[in-house]
Structure 1
Amino acid sequence: MFQEFRHLRVQEASDVDHLLSPTQVRPQSTLRSPALDVMTDFAETAPVTVSAQMSVDEALDWMKSQHVRMLFVVNEKNQFAGVITARDIAGSRAMVYAQQHGIARAEVQVCHIMLGRAHIRGLTFEQVANATIGDLMLTMQGSGDQHVVVIDEGYAGVKRVRGVISASDISRLLKVSFEVMYEAKTFAEIEKIVAQGGEL
């Protein structure tokens, strides 16, 4: 069974002093870097999904285990139905729904408080492919969205969610708090914040 594999010679690490970081391999991202740098592309990384009928508490546990703050909701036919965020679950929405419908919080399902696809805004893959991170920043600052889905068309013109862009990923890439960026009044201020590493 293992004939096709071979043992690799393990080496000592006692004389290794340094850790490589991505900034040493590729230049630090800026507002002028391609927007695709910050898009989670589902052609490369599978989306983290959840059933619309799952309880919100189970969905929150699933988010934590997958290290994400948003899940894509699928219906019984495994079709895209909407999104749900950690903020939706941890905030008051679940409790309000439970009180309004006379049920226990444990009975609240994802479908009860998710944002349905009819209310989700997105960008086309073509828009993102021709944009910069600064364009995304300005767009998301203006709309107040924490997540934006990216839509493209597959063969035979079938529309699908190709990826997602999150404010937290932009913050991580630029090493600047998104909340600080929201406080900026002009694009020049945002550039200054990025250049100074988060100081207004």
Structure 2
Amino acid sequence: MFQEFRHLRLQDASDVDHLLAPSQVRPPATLRSPALAVMTDFTEISPVTVPAGWQIDTALEWMKSQHVRMLFVVDDHGHFAGVITARDIAGGKAMAYARQNGIDLSDVQVRHIMVSRLTIRALTYEQVADATVGDVMLTMQGSGDQHVVVIDEGYAGVKRVRGVISASDISRLLKVSFEVMYEAKTFAEIEKIVAHGGEL
């Protein structure tokens, strides 16, 4: 039954002192690094989703438990319906909806304040694969978006969400506060901020 497999010879690890970390094998990221370095790719990591009918406080707790600041909203059929961010829930959007509709804040659902897929602006996977971190950074700075959805086309021309790029991931990669980057007036200023570890 096991004829196609073989025993591997186990090695002695008593003389091994070091643990390898990504920072030891990857060059430091810069604005010229490939944009794919900051994309969460759903072929490798599953998207964190939330049903459209969930109450917003439950959705916020789910975000916290998953260590994300954005959730992909799915409808009753499991299809992509939109996105909702921590800012949407904790900001004035939920309160305004409750006030306008005469309901308690606890009754506001994800579907009420999410950003619908009908209004989401995205980048294609091809654009991202051909771009640098700086290109994406400049695009997000110009749009004011904290997240950018990445789409591609699967078999038979089916469009799908392939991944997401978040401001916080760019910030983590470059080791610079994204707020500081948003305040920069020129691209040269952004490069200077990155080169000096967040200081002008």
Fold conserved between structures, TM > 0.5: yes
* Alignment match, 2:47: 47
Query: Deviation of residue 21 (structure 1)?
Result: 3.9
- The Cα of 1:59 is off from its aligned counterpart by 0.1
CA distance in 1, matches of 2:105, 2:184: 38
2:19 and 2:137 map into 1 onto residues whose CA distance is 31
- Name the residue aligned to 1:139: 139
| TM-superposed deviation, 1:9 | 10
The number of equivalent residue pairs is 194
Residue 183 to residue 9, structure 1, CA distance change in 2 (3 Å): same
Which blocks of at least 5 consecutive residues in structure 1 are unaligned?
A: 1-7
Write out per-residue CA displacement over residues 20-74 of structure 1, whole angstroms, 9 at most, x where no aligned residue. 5422121111001000000000000000000000000000000000000000000
Please name the residue that 1:5 is paired with: none
Aligned counterpart, 1:30: 30
Secondary structure of the corresponding residue to residue 118 of structure 2: helix
Letter in 2 for 1:182: Y
Percent identity of equivalent pairs: 76
SS at match of 1:31: coil
Matching residue's letter, 1:169: D
Q: What pairs up with 1:43-192 in 2 under 5 angstroms?
A: 43-192=43-192
Q: 1:99 offset after TM fit, Å? A: 1.2
Give me the whole-angstrom Cα distance separating, in 1, the residues matched to 2:115 and 2:132: 27
Runs (4 or more) in structure 1 with deviation over 3 Å come to: 8-12, 18-21
Match of 2:135, SS state, is helix
Paired residue secondary structure (2:185): coil
Alpha-carbon shift at residue 10 of structure 1 (Å): 11
Secondary structure in 2 matching 1:118: coil
Q: Find the residue that maps to 1:161 and give its secondary structure.
A: strand
The one-letter code matched in structure 2 to 1:149 is: V
Whichever residue aligns with residue 25 of structure 2, its letter is V
Q: Where does the alignment leave 5 or more consecutive residues of structure 2 unmatched?
A: 1-9
Aligned to 1:198: 198
- Render the CA deviation track for 1:127-172: whole Å, top value 9, x for unaligned: 0000000100111111111000001000000000000000000000
- TM-score of the aligned structures, taking structure 1 as reference length: 0.91
Deviation for aligned residue 1:19: 6.3
Counterpart for residue 3 of structure 2:
none
SS of equivalent to 1:170: helix
Map of 1:3 onto structure 2? none
Q: Report the AA paired with residue 86 of structure 1.
A: A
* Structure 2 length-normalised TM: 0.91
